[in-house]
Structure 1
Amino acid sequence: MLRWPIAILLLANILAFVAVRGVFGPAPTAGGREPNHLNRQVHPDWLKVQPITATEAADQPVVGGPAPSAPVAASTLPQ
């Protein structure tokens, strides 16, 4: 009963192994497929990195710092 599903899974694993080993050609992420990609960029030297100001960084969390308190007003509920 389980003979055919096991055989199909075994064949699928063998096929995946063979494909990863490169029998069907190089993987698409192997590189070298778009040599003109960098040449087609429009003005890459115009890109500038700027630090953020204190007002822009106000809502940024501090890594390793205490968790900010939520601006929620709490009151006791009437009973």
Structure 2
Amino acid sequence: MLRWPIAILLLANILAFVAVRGVFGPPPTAGGREPVHLNREVHPDWLKVQAVTTAQAADQPVVGGPAPAAPISASELPQ
């Protein structure tokens, strides 16, 4: 009863081992497939580092701090 599932799992393991060893070619993550595209992704000369001013720092959320209260006004609805 369990003979076929065990045989299928054994064949799947052998196939996976052979694929990892590179019998079917290099894996997709081997790199070097599109070096021109990778060179164009990030342009370091376009990036500019700027110091954060106190006005900009006040707008940033504090990690681990309480959530800011939303500026919502509430009033009674007319009946």
Q: Distance in 1 between matches of 2:47 and 2:14?
A: 47
Q: Which has the higher helix share?
A: 2
Take 2:68 and 2:50, find their aligned partners in 1: how far apart are those partners? 30
**CA gap 1:54/1:33 in 2 versus in 1, 3 angstroms:** same
Question: Gaps spanning 5+ residues in structure 2: where?
Answer: 70-79
- Over the matched positions of the two proteins, sequence identity in percent amounts to 74
In the alignment, residue 33 of structure 2 is paired with which amino acid? Answer: R
* TM-score normalised by length of structure 1: 0.63
SS at match of 1:54: helix
Pairwise CA RMSD of aligned residues? Answer: 2.5
Q: Report the number of matched residues.
A: 65
TM normalised by structure 2 equals 0.63
Q: Tell me the CA shift for residue 60 of structure 1.
A: 2.7
Match of 2:11 in 1: 11
Structure 1: 5+ residue stretches without partners: 62-66, 73-79
SS across alignment from 1:24 = coil
